[in-house]
Amino acid sequence: MPQALIVGCGAALGALARFAVSWALAGGMLPLLLINVLGSAAMGYWKPGPFWGTGFLGGFTSFATFAFLTGEASAAAAAGYVAATVIGCVGAYLLGDKLR
């Protein structure tokens, strides 16, 4: 199976998982922050290959929605959200890597 198809299948499943989690938590900034932090931790812990890493976790996490929500927020809320996302995601990745 071509690698692009493998990644695409993983991405489709990851996007469905993100939609389900976001829907269950009523959407917005905090659920997306949780999704992105969980995806970063999983990437650090498992160091997955193309299907699970680039595919599933790439589809599960979302930079585009992060950018949209940040752009729609007030300056203070946007600054806090950017800081929380960067610190949370990098910290989660490093923690996952350390726990590995």
* Beta carbons of 100 and 44 less than 8 angstroms apart: yes
**Signed CA dihedral, 26, 27, 29, 35: sign only:** positive
pTM of the model: 0.95
Give the span between the Cα atoms of 100 and 47, in whole angstroms. Answer: 9
Query: Which pLDDT band, with edges at 50, 70 and 90, does 1 fall under?
Result: confident
Range 37-48 average pLDDT: 99
Query: Which pLDDT band, with edges at 50, 70 and 90, does 67 fall under?
Result: very high
Dump pLDDT digits (tens) for 78-98: 999 999 999 999 999 999 999
Q: Kindly report the number of other CB atoms within 10 A of residue 6's CB atom.
A: 16
- In this prediction, residue 81 carries a pLDDT of 99
- CA neighbor of 32 nearest in space, from 44, 45, 43, 23: 23
- In this prediction, residue 4 carries a pLDDT of 97
